[in-house]
Amino acid sequence: MSETHPRHYCGVFGVYGHPNAAELTYYGLYALQHRGQESAGIVTCADGQFRVHKGMGLVSQVFKGKTLERLKGSMAVGHTRYSTTGSSHHRNSQPLTVDCSKGQIAIAHNGNLTNAAQLRDELELGGSIFQTTVDSEIILHLMARPSNGSDNNLVQSLQRIQGAYSLVIMTENELIGVRDPHGFRPLSIGKLDGAYVLSSETCAFDLIQAEFVRDVEPGEIVIINDDGIQSINAFPMHPRKAFCIFEYVYFSRPDSIINDRGVYGVRVNMGREMAKETAVDADLVVPVPDSGNCAALGYALESGLPYEMAFVRNHYVGRSFLQPSQLIRDFNVRVKLNLINELVEGKRVVIVDDSIVRGPRARRA
C-alpha cells in the first residue's frame, strides 16, 4: 500500500532430511507468499544433483502439474520474491544456483546489501562475471574465491558484506542458515519428523505442522548436515540488535512469532499505545484491512470506541488488472477498498492502517 516501505523483503525456506523436501518447500513458500509475489523458485538436491524450477508469479502459478515430482531429493531451498519495478526479470528470480570449485551452491536471500556496488566493482576487476543484478550473486562470488588458509570462507564472505540478509544456502551436502548481525530480517528453525526446516516466518511451520524450535540469532550461522545442527557465531564482536520494525508492522503475518513475540500481539499493543498517545475525539475506529486490523482492534480496546469494519476489501485484485481510462476517478483506491457509507456518515472516524508507526491519523468521513 505504501510506496515508502523498503522493498527488499522476500521469503526464504529450506528443508534438510525429509523425503518430501520439494513438497514441504512448496507449502512453506505458499505460507510465505505475502512476503513476495513476483517470482518463486525451488532447488532440490538428490544424490549430489541439483534440480531447479523457478518462474514469475505466485507459488501456485509457478509450480503446476508434475513440476514438484521432478524436484527429487531430501534437501531443498526455496524463495519468493517481492515485486519491484525495473528489475523484474526471470533471470533475477531466486534461488540462484552456480557451479564453482566448491561444487554446486544454491542461495536464497532475503534482504539487501548496502555495499553491493563497491563489492561488485572489486570482484569484476578480479575477473568475476555477473549474470544477474541481484545482490545475492555477490555473496556467491565471495564464497567461490579460493580459500586463504581457512577451511570455511563463508565466515570471511559474510564479514565483507554489509546490510540486511537472512540467507538459506544449500551445498551438495549441507543446508546453511545465516542471519545478519543486526538481525534485520527474521529466520527461524523448525523440526518435522526428524528433519530440519528453516523459514523466514514461523507461520510456515504451522502449515506443514513442523515444531518451532528457535530463531536463528543475529550474526549466527547454522549448518545442518548428517551430523545434526551446528552453530557458528560469525560476528563475535558484534552484539547489537537492530530488528526491522516493519517486520512487525507490515511484512510478517500476524500468526508468526518473531524474536519470541507474536506479531498479532505486538500489533494490538501498538494500537493500544497509539490510543494512549493520541487523544482523538472520535465515534468509531475503522481498520484498513487487512494490515490495519490488529492495531485498530488495540486502539478500540484501549479507547473504548466501537470497532467497525467499514472498509470492504476486494480479494481479487491481481497484477494484471487493466488500468481504467479517465472516466473513473480515484479508481485505484476504490478497486481494492470500498467504504460502507452508512456506517461512517456523520461520524468522527479513526482510520488505522499499517502507517500507525509513523503517527496516528484521524479522518472525518
Active site residues: 10
Q: Of the two residues 222 and 310, which places its CB atom closer to a copy of itself in the complex?
A: 310
Stretch 163-192: interaction string toward a copy of itself, x if CB under 8 A? ------------------------------
Q: How far is CA 146 from CA 151, 168, 170, 204, in A?
A: 10, 22, 19, 37
Cβ at position 239, least distance to a copy of itself in Å: 29
* Cis geometry, peptide bond prior to residue 47 (ω within 30 degrees of 0): no
Stretch 65-84: interaction string toward a copy of itself, x if CB under 8 A? ---x----------------
Residue among 145, 191, 238, 361 that touches a copy of itself (CB under 8 A)? 145
Residue among 12, 58, 76, 351 that touches a copy of itself (CB under 8 A)? 58
211 binds a copy of itself (CB under 8 A): no
Stretch that binds a copy of itself, among 8-16, 136-144, 171-179, 237-245 (CB under 8 A): 136-144
Q: Of the two residues 144 and 362, which places its CB atom closer to a copy of itself in the complex?
A: 144
Residue among 86, 146, 236, 239 that touches a copy of itself (CB under 8 A)? 146
Terminal CA-CA length for the chain = 20
Q: What is the grid cell recorded at 224?
A: 545442518
User: Closest Cα partner for 90 from 133, 139, 26, 28?
Assistant: 133
Cβ at position 325, least distance to a copy of itself in Å: 6
Q: What is the grid cell recorded at 151?
A: 577451511
Q: What is the grid cell recorded at 265?
A: 500481539
Cβ at position 126, least distance to a copy of itself in Å: 7
**Interactions with a copy of itself, residue window 85-124 (CB under 8 A):** 90-91, 96-101, 105, 120, 124
Residue among 71, 175, 223, 297 that touches a copy of itself (CB under 8 A)? 297
Q: What angle do CA 286, 287, 288 make, to 5 degrees?
A: 125
The sign of the torsion formed by the CA atoms of 352, 354, 357, 358 equals: negative
85 vs 346: CA distance, rounded Å: 40
Burial status of residue 365 (CB atoms within 10 A of its CB: 0-12, 13-18, 19 or more): middle
Number of CB atoms found within 10 A of residue 129's CB: 8
Q: What is the grid cell recorded at 172?
A: 551438495
Residue among 128, 156, 225, 259 that touches a copy of itself (CB under 8 A)? 128
Residue among 12, 203, 244, 266 that touches a copy of itself (CB under 8 A)? 203
Cβ at position 287, least distance to a copy of itself in Å: 10
Stretch 7-46: interaction string toward a copy of itself, x if CB under 8 A? -------------x--xx-xx--xx-xx--x---------
Which one-letter DSSP state was computed for residue 307?
B
324 vs 313: CA distance, rounded Å: 19
Determine if residue 191 is left, alpha or beta; phi over 0 gives left, psi from -120 to 50 gives alpha, anything else beta. beta
Stretch that binds a copy of itself, among 109-117, 166-174, 254-262, 356-364 (CB under 8 A): 254-262
Q: What is the grid cell recorded at 160?
A: 565483507
- Residue 334: helix, strand or coil by DSSP? helix
131 binds a copy of itself (CB under 8 A): yes
Stretch 299-338: interaction string toward a copy of itself, x if CB under 8 A? --x----xxxxx-xxxxxxx-xxx-xx-xxx-x--xx--x
Q: How far is CA 164 from CA 178, 183, 365, in A?
A: 11, 8, 40
Residue among 172, 174, 206, 283 that touches a copy of itself (CB under 8 A)? 206
**Interactions with a copy of itself, residue window 269-288 (CB under 8 A):** none
Compute how many residues bind a copy of itself; rule: CB under 8 A: 84
